[in-house]
Each structure stands twice: as C-alpha cells, then as structure tokens.
Structure 1
C-alpha cells in the first residue's frame, strides 16, 4: 500500500503527475495511508484532490511504504493527531451513494426531490425572504443546541444529531491547526444554517436545507450526485440556463453565482450581516463547503475569480475534517464548551439576528 505524505501549504499546492510525486514547500507534514483498491469513492476523491491541487498550485509527495492493517481496515495516520478512518458511521466508504442500504435509498429519494425543486427563481425568492434575518435573535451557542434534534437526511455517512458533527469537525481541526482559532470556530458553526429545519425558522423541507449545493442559472454539471433527476427540473427548459456559463460571465467570481438554497448560503448571510470579524476565508468555507462539484470534481472553476482561487485552499483543507471526522467518536461537550464560547465572544456579537 502507498503512504502519502501531504503537506498543507500556507499558499498554494501543485502535483507532478508524470513522476507521481511532488515536492512540498510547507513545514507542516501529515502522513496518510492511501486507500485500498476496493474503496473506489475514496480513491476518486483522492485523485480528484490531486488533479484539483495541480490546478491551484498544491504539492503532494507520495512514497511507497507498507502500512499495518487491523481487522481488514487500513488505517489513515495523521502523525498521531487527527486519525482519518476509511469508513463512515455505517461501516461504508464515505459519500458512497450507490451502497445498498435503507439509508442510501432515502438519500437518493432526497436528491430526486431536491433536484426537481431547486430552481433559479426559487433560490432568488428564498434569499430575499431569509435575508431579512427576522426569524429570531439568539447566540451562536444557543443555535448549536437547537441542532440537537436535527438529522440530515441527505448525509449517507452520519445519522447522529448535528451538534455531534459540529464538535467532531471543530475538534479535529483544532488538533492539526492549534493556532488557527478562526478555523476551529468555522468548524463549529459551518452547519448552523440547518436550523432552517426547526419550527422557529419555518420548518423548511430537507431538500431546501441540506445536501450538496450547485449553481443555478447555468448547466448542471454531470459530476453533481444523482444528476439524472435534473431532467424534471423546470430550469432544464430554459435554453440560457443550459449553457456552460448560463447567465454568468466566465471568471465573474462565485460571489455572483446563484447557488442552490440551503444551510450554507443561509449561515453565510447570518454571519456576514451580523458583522462577524471572522476572516473572509471562513465565510468562503461556510458558503461553499457543500459545493462538492467544485472542490471534489473541479467543476465550475471557469466561474471563479482570483479571490476564489486564493480561498479555495482553505476549503480543500476544511473538507477533510468536515467529511472524514464523521464517526461514532463522542465529544465531551461540557469539557470543550468554554473554549468555543471564548471564540464566539471573540468573533461574534452576543446575540445575532437569524
């Protein structure tokens, strides 16, 4: 099995595919065992990351080494820090939308409904309505606790309450990036927009809150999960919406692109309009962390501008923790709560408009 040495840069990252190696200029080094051949989804994710890394200048060094296998599961080792499992909470590969299970059937049905109902006009209406931020006033931590009863029906990897995932993500980032406190807080709050499922926020249907996001107003890329269901989306009948650029100009910047409505865009609006002092990279991560067609498959890069290309490095870093921290490992909430309350106080007002 191959052992990949991945060094996360402070700027960009680039891959030398000819030699199947790359040099890394960063001082941060993380060793990860490569996935086994039967885990095609993870292999695809890793290869796509290499391809995407090459496009934006990231470098990855790969060396062949033998790694131990326990119970038939190959371990991913991060220098004794964040340990990445090959399998999710259900014992399957991450983001495997074709695995046979009851969970997968409900996930596919979710995407069928989502792909039919998320239209350009619908998103425009929802952004206008929820952009008023007139539903409730509460703190960030109060919102975290509201998510105790929320389960994401679109997620094939986890069926725990969302607050568990928030803390798993934040704590995993904290281990590897102890000095980037803004990134720890981003991990905690990135999914808070899922409170749209709560009665206080109108109890929106799951398809209007969760799931992978994608641009509206231009062609639906084939890499979007369960793409086949877009055939029943009303926007498919609009000639302009079915061109590569659609209503946009090449290089216009993702900020000008209308994304499918959900928790990502909502939490971005909440943070921005309430005057957070988090760096823009945090807002970028929050807004596009479910945009897998971009950061997993490299689609829609023709719409990106220079700022997007600068900030996507943080999105690629964040995605590892967002995806691979989903497990049955429990976090002691009371133990870590004081730390995250201090970060909330640093970067947000006491109460926010939602």
Structure 2
C-alpha cells in the first residue's frame, strides 16, 4: 500500500530508504518512513517553538505538574478502577474519540481516531505478523474518553500528556520539569529521593504513575481479561512515559520483564510519534480487520 503524506519537505533518506518528494507530498511503499516535521511544520515534540499552541501546552504542563500527587493518583485509581461508568465495545469507544483533541500534544490537531489508525496501519505494514501490536496501536489512546461527560469530564491535565512516576523524585528529563517545584510532593521527604516509596528493581507494576489515559486503559484491558501479551499491556500503560523510553530515566525501577517489554515500547514509540502527519486512512476499508483482532483479544463488551 502506498501512503501519501502531505508535507513540504524535499527528498530525504531515512534508515536507508529513499523518499521521493514533489514539494507537496512524500510517497513511500517500502516500510515506515519517519517524516521530518509534524502537522504544523515543526520538529516533533518541540516544546520551545514560538506559537499560541505551544503556550497552551506549557500552561497545561504547569497545571499537570502541580496537581499530579501521590495521593491524587491513588484516589483516581481507586475511583476509576471500579469500571462502573458504562459498558461498550472497543470499536464503540474508538468512535467516541472522534470529538477528542489532545491539548498537550504539540504535534497533532487531528481527531484522535485518525491518529489511532495512522499508528496501527504503519505498524501493520512493517510488522505484519504481530497482530497484537496492531491492535495495541489501535486502542492505546482509548483512555482519553475520560475527557467526555459520561466518564466524568476530567480536565486535560488529568487525562493526557507525558506520564511519570509519583512517590519518588521527579526526573529532570520530564518536559517542563521546573513546575514540579510547586507540587506538594516535591519536598516531601517520603517522596523526594531517587526510589522514594519504591525499591530498586521492584518492577513498574509496583510503581504508581501520574494519572491519565494510559493507566486507565491499562486497567480496562486488564480487568476485562484481555488476552493481549504482557508487552501489549506494557505499551498501553507506558506509551506516554517519555522520560523512560526516550531519556532512559527511572530504569533503576525496572525488573527483567520490564526490560524485555521496553524493547517493544521503543518500537511502538516510533510509530506513535512519527505517524502524526497528514496520512488519511479509509476507516471502512480497514475496520473489518481490526474488528477481527478485537474479537480475538477482548470480550464483546467491556466494563469501562
């Protein structure tokens, strides 16, 4: 399948693959090619570029970093872990995301369903035999339904954005880390050390992450007895944990299983981040394939 990306760059070569360009679009059909710029024409995850959107992103992270405390996360996990909001299928949830835009993302202003399918189809092309990874890509952001009224209409800072451990020191690699100084946990002696309330090598399943769509979708998949492999659940729960998979922070908390799963997360991250371009996916064409994967790995209806 040939994918067209509407972007203004000239021909480039990435990972040994030649991309032909005619000033309006990049055309490729030999595997996934990382575009040079996001949908706004800037570098990916550039939090410093001058723009009205970037100012909003920084304000988002200030609020996020002040309010994501250990006690807050504990309360949210207890509240939403009950999964007593609604019953619906995975695909119904995908369709709900049509009206969701992530205010923390400096790279994307498309409806979330577009991003899910872009990511899934790009992975499907390069890893045709890993169907669990295709499905993981499709559902990894479904937890963003927490923004909708039927799920409590949580504020953006409690749903989206980069995630990080709470209950231990905030690493300097976390975006806009300066705002953690206003977080009540910042100078709490129980939480301000490298390991905090955890122990070295304890495993990420023992670590509380800042609350958001990642952890919520992980709880939904786990409690509804999904048969996705461990790596799939790991990707869902930690795909926004950029301090780990981009900067190598917090590796002292990982166990052996985490180390193995991290390899898949790093593969996934390339597609999750760099597929945020003007690729258009025919939803009706690919829908039967993803419905078959949902049937394979999930019950018909889930508790949310």
Question: Where on the TM-score scale, by shorter chain, does this alignment land: which range?
Answer: over 0.9
1:298 has 2:265 as partner:
no
State the distance in 2 between where 1:135 and 1:72 align.
45
1:330 has 2:267 as partner:
no
* Alpha-carbon displacement from aligned partner over 1:258-294 (angstroms, at most 9, x marks no partner): 1000000000000000011111100000000000000
SS at match of 2:122: helix
State the distance in 2 between where 1:71 and 1:3 align.
15
TM-score by length of 2: 0.93
Coordinate RMSD, CA, aligned: 2.0
SS at match of 1:236: coil
1:341 has 2:256 as partner:
no
* Alpha-carbon displacement from aligned partner over 1:1-42 (angstroms, at most 9, x marks no partner): x9675xxxxxxxxxxxxxxxxxxxxxxxxx358xxxxxxxxx
Matches within 5 A, 1:130-209: 130-209=80-159
Count the aligned residue pairs: 294
SS at match of 2:286: helix
Partner residue, 2:9: none
State the distance in 1 between where 2:263 and 2:224 align.
25
State the distance in 2 between where 1:231 and 1:250 align.
24
- CA separation of 1:69/1:146 partners in 2, compared to 1, >3 Å: closer, same or farther? closer
Partner residue, 1:60: none
1:217 has 2:167 as partner:
yes
C-alpha contact 2:202 2:255 (8 A) present in aligned 1 = yes
1:267 has 2:203 as partner:
no
Q: Which runs of no fewer than 5 residues in structure 2 stay unpaired?
A: 1-11
State the distance in 1 between where 2:301 and 2:126 align.
30
* Alpha-carbon displacement from aligned partner over 1:106-140 (angstroms, at most 9, x marks no partner): 10110000000000000000000000000000000
C-alpha contact 2:17 2:30 (8 A) present in aligned 1 = no
State the distance in 2 between where 1:70 and 1:318 align.
29
C-alpha contact 2:20 2:28 (8 A) present in aligned 1 = no
TM-score by length of 1: 0.80
Matches within 5 A, 1:1-354: 5=15, 31=16, 80-354=30-304
C-alpha contact 1:78 1:84 (8 A) present in aligned 2 = no
Please report how far the alpha carbon of residue 84 of structure 1 lies from its aligned counterpart in structure 2 after TM superposition. 1.7
- CA separation of 1:345/1:274 partners in 2, compared to 1, >3 Å: closer, same or farther? same
Q: Which has the higher contact order (CA 8 A, sep 6+)?
A: 2
- CA separation of 1:305/1:111 partners in 2, compared to 1, >3 Å: closer, same or farther? same
Q: Which runs of 4+ in 1 moved over 3 A?
A: 2-5, 67-73
State the distance in 2 between where 1:32 and 1:116 align.
44
SS at match of 1:114: helix
Please report how far the alpha carbon of residue 83 of structure 1 lies from its aligned counterpart in structure 2 after TM superposition. 2.4
